[in-house]
Structure 1
Amino acid sequence: MKGSVIVVGFFVLGVLAGRSGSMPAWVLNSTTSFVALCALLLCVGIGIGLNPDMKNDIKSLSPRLALLPVATILGSWMGAMAAYLLMSNDVCSILHHRSLTDCLAIDSGFAYYSLSSIFITEYRGAELGTIALLANIIREMITLLLAPLIAKRFGPLAPISSGGATTMDTTLPIITQSVGQRYVALSIYHGFVTDFTVPFLVTMWCTI
């Protein structure tokens, strides 16, 4: 929760700095975003490589539970399609200038707001990148705040799917508290797989 608040704070500071018109030219250069993206991917790889238990945790999973990331991805896409249909009708036409692939690209961030928003900004512009940042932050915060309620209402796998790519780091403590230690390995595996797919799936929807 604290981490999400900090990210939102930096986002607000960035908006204010951009509106001030006092940013140096090198900050506005698209190369800066690309370098930041490469550094972020490097940190992700280092974090995964430093986890000595990742291999054993994955081996301990049953084949049925190993398909949970697939269910998360497909379920998220179905939700994005439903939201697109709802928001593009005549009564609520706020997406009149956006395509279904835009919604699917945003949703394919799976709460990994920092990485997905940079990719979407590069491909589809700052407006959609900002929407992606906020949408994925909200997804993480919903999991952090409502994981116990989600687990009670929909079962122990539901908060893991809700957390998306964050279930191996920021939302892992609250998920463990909500569903028990027996789901720790699954949560880490789920976060790893969905985390790994984000660059590929976001890029795929942005280039269609």
Structure 2
Amino acid sequence: MKMKLKVGMISGSALILLAACGGTDTTTNDSATSTKESTANSMASSSTTESASSESSASKNFEGKSFSVTYEQAIADFQEAYPNAAISSIDFDKDFGKYTFEINGFDDTQEIEWEVNAEDGKETKNNTEKKDADFDDQELMVDDLMAIDELITKSEKEAPNAVLVSWNLEADDDTKTPLFTGEFEEGNNEVDVHLNAETGEFLSVEND
């Protein structure tokens, strides 16, 4: 009888230990699940905040308009029309009430001025003329430039309270450095932010 009692006591103790271990595993799993959910919620919140910030920034520039023609598409269309031409400058500006991409270029014999309406994709200018003897425009190496959205974002940081109304890309006549100029309005003031268009390096700010 005594032997049987001891065995029963040992079995009961083992069951208690197993139950305790099982409870610990459940707690650990619940804790891990809670941590994962918290992390996921935090990432989702961060993503939403960044998206809202990006949309807010985009909406204040260029009157909050969206465009059917991108910077990359404008360049591709120009190069298709003039496959042997070099690009010397690109302007994104408002022309006669409409935002346009104006691309200036040249080849061995002529100067080219081409423009497309960024809002509806219609070609609005396509002029060529014989190259002058004193022509000295520099080629803008568009394939080497930083993405236009990154340049815009970097320029906005230098004029945080202003609104971007236009921008320009061209190579400096003296240094051959590719330049990005963001043209901002802040109240009645005009602010021009100059960046190295290849590296994004800040160069200067001009206030008028």
Q: Which has the higher helix share?
A: 1
Which of the five TM-score ranges fits, normalised by the shorter chain? under 0.3
Q: What's the TM-score, normalizing by structure 2? A: 0.24
TM-score when scaled to structure 1?
0.24
Q: Which structure is higher in RCO with an 8 Å CA cutoff and minimum separation 6? A: 1
